[in-house]
Structure 1
Amino acid sequence: MSEGEKKRGFMSWYFGSNLLMRILIGLILGIVAGLLFKDKILWVQPFGDLFIRLLKMIVVPVILFSLIVGTASISPYRLGKVGVKIIVYYLLTTVLAVAIGLIFANLFKPGLGLELAVGEVAGFELKKPSLVTTFLNIVPTNPVEALSKGDVLPIIFFALLFGIGLSFLLESDNEELRASAKTVYNFSNGAAEVMYKIVGGIMEYAPIGVFALVAVVLAKEGPRVIGPLATAVGTEYLAIVVHVALVYGLVLRLYGLRLTKFLAHAKEAMITAFVTRSSSGTLPVTMACAENMGIPKGIYSFTLPLGATINMDGTAIYQGVCALFIGFAVGRHMPLSDQLIIIVTALLASIGTAGVPGAGAIMLLLVLDSVGLSVDPGTPVAAAYAMILGVDAIFDMGRTCINVTGDLVGTAIVTKTEGELDISKWA
């Protein structure tokens, strides 16, 4: 169905309007309804619970197929020096990004004092897994059981191994094996695209779900939740600025490149990513910026699409900040062991985070689950997650901008180490 047909079809006034605006309107109306009607609005809670159930429904298949496709797309025989360098850079900066997000979240403590768990459903209990047990359980004894139970880290581990094995078979000299691997890859890619389409459909319901969830939270908690949420947004953007200035600035300086000159070259891609909230959609603009930086096509045509798949520095910062916001909001002060688990999970999940608007919010579900904060309908965790989701577009603009920025920084320094960067463009 074309966009024009969609706008003229059923409920065109709804589906034909901008989704971001609808979610923001749902958030605002939810705040107003919760504050005005208080207990009288609690009847909408099932509509919010339905939204949470829809999101949880798609988490496991999204993880599985996205990670398989993302990993399998990296050809083991074509990586060479450039591939190894860019992957090491992507992984290291992602770890630093989530660590910076956690540092600032610990410093500003967004969500502290909300105490959403007070007065909630009886029997709600926050799980606190052992660090050693969690790391051992990353390796599943039965992948099918892990899938059925929704155990996040074992699913990620299995999907990564499956994708790596598939990538080798795709390059096999045996034609039969190569054809079979192509079939598996095409199925996984098709399944991933189907899941993205379903995610898109679920997000059409998001304005209603956000309205219901936020209205219930405000009815129960009052206006005191607004300040901590604004603190969470401010914390993410401050962490982003520090990551750009500190991590990217130092890395570029280490290789004799200036951050100011880089930003001048990259500004079009950064602005486009900020507005569109899509790393994949910004890719043509990102490639044009790389060309202007004096990076040869032979390098950026490999590193930038790869970065749009596995390099998610902005998303990593978001995961750290929002995980701690939700922890503080429900009275769970996470120790260092939990925060290390967040770093590992955010790193692994970043490989399969689709470069489309809102994907980070889906991956946040994995990070929360890995530290025992399961987003179940009717729980304080679900209420805190709803608050994040209500302003996710604001988070998403910043994190997508930095995702794309990180891709360009990595591409520039790898090109410099290969002696192929046109330095005259940086004068």
Structure 2
Amino acid sequence: MTTNTKFNLTSRILIAMALGILVGSFFQWILGGAAEKEVSLAGFSIGIKALFVDGIFHVGGQIFVASLKMLVVPLVLVSLVCGTSSLKDISTLGRIGSKSMGLYILTTAIAITIAIFFALLFSPGVGVNMPLAQSYQVADTPSVAQVFINMFPSNPVEAMAKGEMLQIIIFAVLFGIAIALSGEAGQRVRQIFEDLNTVVMHLVNIVMHLSPYGVFFLMAKLFTTLELNDMGNLGIYFLVVLFVLLFHGLLVYGTLVKLVGGLNPLMFFRKMKETALFAFSTSSSNATIASNMATTTGKLGVDNKVASFTIPLGATINMDGTAIMQGVATVFIAQVYNIDLTAADYLLVVLTATLASIGTAGVPGVGLVMLAMVLQQVGLPVEGIALIIGVDRLLDMTRTAVNITGDAMVSCLVGKSEKCLDLAVFNDPDAGKNDKL
């Protein structure tokens, strides 16, 4: 793939996103708030919403998302087995794992602390006094102990079938270690996985180049169904969450890249823009694993034995954007209900949201479920979640972009500390542009 074509892929994604917004807004204007509007065509009555919004846009968008999710299990399993089995010193895996976990937990704690600070500063819920429009039914949230128990698979095949990412990661790591310790037999198995990895990456390449069409369908449906009245009612909350997401994603991550990694943050963000667009359009960290891994290794220069571990792990447990939403939402709901939280309550929020991020799956909207756990810990009414449902979809897109940027940032820092980061590739603005993906 030529350099120009690679640039055109990014351009096509941006164009598709813009067209999707325009088309979605146009259909929302046509519907005018009505549930359905029918037009006559060749003697037949056709529902505009049924044909376009629930038909073409919905089907096209869901096929794209399903195609991305289709890649997740084989990509994570094969890449992680290849990366782990290539380690000649198993202690290296322990260092990579401990550094990754430490950085992910640290950035999540920073994220929610900043979120609470700015939420208290701007007070988005003071004076709102919004009536509850609906009751939010939340699924049972697992205990912290159960989260750790659920990390270990009793049946790895079932874990792969259900897409249980933490279980897949642990199985792949153990399987890779077994290959590394199995001598000549292990090397034969490792070569099979290396060949599988090549095939899977070509599959990733096929799906990624169809992404502009999927992005168009997703944005068109979103902006057709987006309730702008809800956005107006919760404007302050929306803007505070958006501000903190950008503050954390740009300033905090940029500072860590510069001070901890000694790397150029502008170069880092420049190379992350395409993957961030994928994350924004899909609202799923898991669906963005393929694009993020390709960017981290091909453009940022992180060795695959690091990226194959840090990227899938980050997509599963690194939920800085979700933690920010939980922090601001907790303060907002407390202010709306005129409930005073103590310093101990806020500390409990930080600890609970940080731990909750480990059990937060990288799929759209799951942050609201985990928010229920946080609210329950400090005695706030769970039904308060109904207040923010109207604007959460658009914020979910932004916080997913922040999440995957954090995954790549940690990958660079860990790679640099392990001497597994090619600085020439990182500093080359054209690195990765000639790759197929």
Q: What TM bracket, shorter-length normalisation?
A: 0.5 to 0.7
Q: Give 1:236 shift.
A: 1.4
Residue in 1 that maps onto 2:286: none
1:344 to 1:391, Cα distance in 2 relative to 1, 3 A: closer
CA distance in 1, matches of 2:235, 2:323: 20
CA distance in 2, matches of 1:111, 1:211: 30
Question: Which of the numbers 53, 64, 72 marks the counterpart of 2:73?
Answer: 64
Residue in 1 that maps onto 2:357: 343
CA offset digits 1:234-259 (Å, max 9, x no partner)? 21122235634876688x4xxxxxx8
| Correspondence list, 1:8-19, <5 A | 18-19=12-13
Task: Report if aligned partners of 1:102, 1:317 keep a CA contact under 8 Å in 2.
Answer: yes
CA distance in 1, matches of 2:137, 2:403: 31
Q: Give 1:28 shift.
A: 5.1
Gaps of 5+ in 1: 7-13, 253-258, 288-299, 350-362, 374-378, 416-427
| Correspondence list, 1:129-208, <5 A | 129-131=141-143, 132-148=145-161, 150=162, 155-173=164-182, 175-184=184-193, 186-187=195-196, 190-191=199-200, 194=203, 197-198=206-207, 201=210, 204-208=213-217
1:228 to 1:279, Cα distance in 2 relative to 1, 3 A: farther
The one-letter code sitting in structure 1 at the alignment partner of 2:149 is L
CA distance in 2, matches of 1:409, 1:156: 23
Gaps of 5+ in 2: 37-48, 276-291, 338-347, 373-385, 420-437
Residue in 2 that maps onto 1:292: none
Matched, 1:320 2:360: no
CA distance in 2, matches of 1:404, 1:111: 31
Question: Which of the numbers 27, 34, 39 marks the counterpart of 2:21?
Answer: 27
CA distance in 2, matches of 1:39, 1:247: 46
Query: Matched residue of 1:78: which SS?
Result: coil
The more displaced of 70-79 and 186-195 is 186-195
CA distance in 1, matches of 2:331, 2:78: 35
TM-score by length of 1: 0.60
| Correspondence list, 1:230-379, <5 A | 230-240=239-249, 243-244=252-253, 252=260, 262=262, 266-267=264-265, 269-277=267-275, 280-281=294-295, 283=297, 286-287=300-301, 309=311, 316-321=319-324, 339-345=353-359, 363-365=362-364, 368=367, 371=370
Task: Report if aligned partners of 1:31, 1:215 keep a CA contact under 8 Å in 2.
Answer: yes
1:206 to 1:330, Cα distance in 2 relative to 1, 3 A: farther
| Correspondence list, 1:66-145, <5 A | 66-72=75-81, 73-75=83-85, 77-79=87-89, 84-108=94-118, 118=133, 125-131=137-143, 132-145=145-158
The one-letter code sitting in structure 2 at the alignment partner of 1:104 is I
Q: Give 1:93 shift.
A: 0.7
**Please, what is the CA RMSD of the aligned residues?**
5.3
CA distance in 2, matches of 1:32, 1:227: 26
Identity score, percent: 8
Q: Give 1:30 shift.
A: 3.4
CA distance in 2, matches of 1:4, 1:307: 31
CA distance in 2, matches of 1:55, 1:328: 36
Q: Give 1:39 shift.
A: 1.6
The one-letter code sitting in structure 1 at the alignment partner of 2:165 is I
The one-letter code sitting in structure 1 at the alignment partner of 2:244 is T
Q: Give 1:75 shift.
A: 3.4
CA distance in 2, matches of 1:323, 1:192: 35
1:134 to 1:38, Cα distance in 2 relative to 1, 3 A: farther
Q: Give 1:97 shift.
A: 1.5
Q: Give 1:127 shift.
A: 0.9
CA offset digits 1:166-216 (Å, max 9, x no partner)? 323543555445424533554466346535644653552222222222221
Q: Give 1:107 shift.
A: 4.5
TM-score by length of 2: 0.59
Instruction: Count residues in correspondence.
Output: 355
